Structure 1
């Protein structure tokens, strides 16, 4: 395997590709990187897009981490590529720090659901049902109904959930019922993603301990306009620590990518030994 950091050069031709990337939507990054693996029949690679801090490339411009079976090759000279062979040698008990952009979904009755959105809507529905409200399905309608009927006692229970979470510090600057509800929904979503992640670990050959750090940030929903106006997928950035239980299983899953939406920049788990 090869791990690379890639960005476009400052030449005019490369700038044209950057403009196309900016306006090309979620498909454009994969199509751009596809050009670096022309000798591979199926071109298997994982990538993650980031924005640079301006130190080595233009401020705010994208760069990519890429994990591939073949070293990238820039035949046209549009890219700056830093690449190295990357073959982690692991044993049971090794601890890793990681960062992962992932598309967390669950399957229910043959349909896939966004884990975070599903958790929010389920929690809102439970809260509004307990208040005797008429059932609705949209998140906005559920929030409006809950804000309309929730009492101070409910507000205190929301604050208790927040105080028991990593968002407790944000409660100090949280003013009003709506802001408190938005914050507790973040807590609910974070808990759902953490549960989803922990449930997947055995299939990845990994485990977590009580002391291991876990953080969920950067939740985004992306439109897939080429499929239909309604088609969307979500991504979230996970960072934390894990323990290797089955090195062979982990390397197999890691090299294949974690979760879905790999063609859209999800699934590349960046790891370091700790």
Structure 2
């Protein structure tokens, strides 16, 4: 395996850059990277990639502060001579032992499968929790999340709002639970807490599957989830989209072979869109 760092050549003009990156959403980057092997282009997608901002990585090579930098993991070494990119590659052979502690970052598409369909974990957790609250009020579930929230704010009594505050106080947003919040704000922070708990549970299940043990922090979180984003895929379908979230944390390697497979094969779906590549480094 090879881990490559791919940067735009600094001599590229603004016009060239705009032309190159106009199709960076959807399948655009996937197609772009598929061609960097030239005549040795793989028959199927067997690589993972991740997009970062070069300036934030301390890798800016031009005055364009928003230039991207890409990390690509592949079984074949990319062609170093490319008209658009500066490509630096090195063999990727992580030497790991059981008990090794690693910090990681990962852009991932967390989903739950229900009735053979994938559902975004955050949206699923929120809707299920809202429906449960309405059931406690003996109110029939409406069709969407927005309607659920309106009904709860209309009919929830003070005791139920107090219960929501308790949920907040037990989670990573505990400081908010001690604030003077309007009912609508209490509901929103409770929903944020529910989503965070769903992410924690999901990641622990991934640890069981991929040979690692999660390390918790003071809030009993195993990961920190940020940069939740919706991505549209018009080439696939006018309504098609997926959601990604950036997660960071620390873990302990338990099963070396399972964990190495997770590093090489990626975690979760949407790998063709820049998800699944776990970047790791040792914790001293």
Match of 1:47 in 2: 49
Match of 2:162 in 1: 156
Match of 1:229 in 2: 238
Match of 2:74 in 1: 68
**Secondary structure of the residue that 2:263 maps to in structure 1?**
helix
Indicate yes or no: 2:94 matched with 1:88.
yes
Report deviation, 1:84.
2.1
**Secondary structure of the residue that 2:154 maps to in structure 1?**
helix
Alignment of 1:180-199 (within 5 A): 180-199=186-205
Report deviation, 1:137.
2.3
Structure 2 residue corresponding to 1:138, chosen from 140, 144, 147: 144
Indicate yes or no: 2:135 matched with 1:129.
yes
**Secondary structure of the residue that 1:37 maps to in structure 2?**
helix
Question: Paired residues, what number?
Answer: 274
Deviates more, 1:219-228 or 1:37-46: 37-46
Match of 2:214 in 1: 208
Match of 2:248 in 1: 239
Match of 1:252 in 2: 261
Does the 8 Å CA contact 1:8/1:15 hold for their aligned counterparts? no
Report deviation, 1:74.
4.5
| Gaps in structure 2 of 5+ consecutive residues | none
CA-based RMSD: 2.2
Distance 1:73 1:179, change over 3 A: farther
Distance 1:75 1:194, change over 3 A: same
Report deviation, 1:45.
1.2
Deviations 1:122-171 (A, max 9, x none): 00111112122232121111111111112232222222211221122345
Looking at structure 1, the residues matched to 27 and 66 of structure 2 have their Cα atoms a distance apart, in angstroms, of 19
Looking at structure 2, the residues matched to 146 and 80 of structure 1 have their Cα atoms a distance apart, in angstroms, of 54
Indicate yes or no: 2:184 matched with 1:178.
yes
Looking at structure 2, the residues matched to 137 and 109 of structure 1 have their Cα atoms a distance apart, in angstroms, of 17
Distance 1:95 1:15, change over 3 A: farther
Looking at structure 2, the residues matched to 14 and 37 of structure 1 have their Cα atoms a distance apart, in angstroms, of 25
**Secondary structure of the residue that 2:37 maps to in structure 1?**
coil
Deviates more, 1:253-262 or 1:72-81: 72-81
Looking at structure 1, the residues matched to 159 and 37 of structure 2 have their Cα atoms a distance apart, in angstroms, of 59
| Gaps in structure 1 of 5+ consecutive residues | none
Does the 8 Å CA contact 1:14/1:78 hold for their aligned counterparts? no
Indicate yes or no: 2:268 matched with 1:262.
no
**Secondary structure of the residue that 1:87 maps to in structure 2?**
coil
Report deviation, 1:15.
4.8
**Secondary structure of the residue that 2:227 maps to in structure 1?**
strand
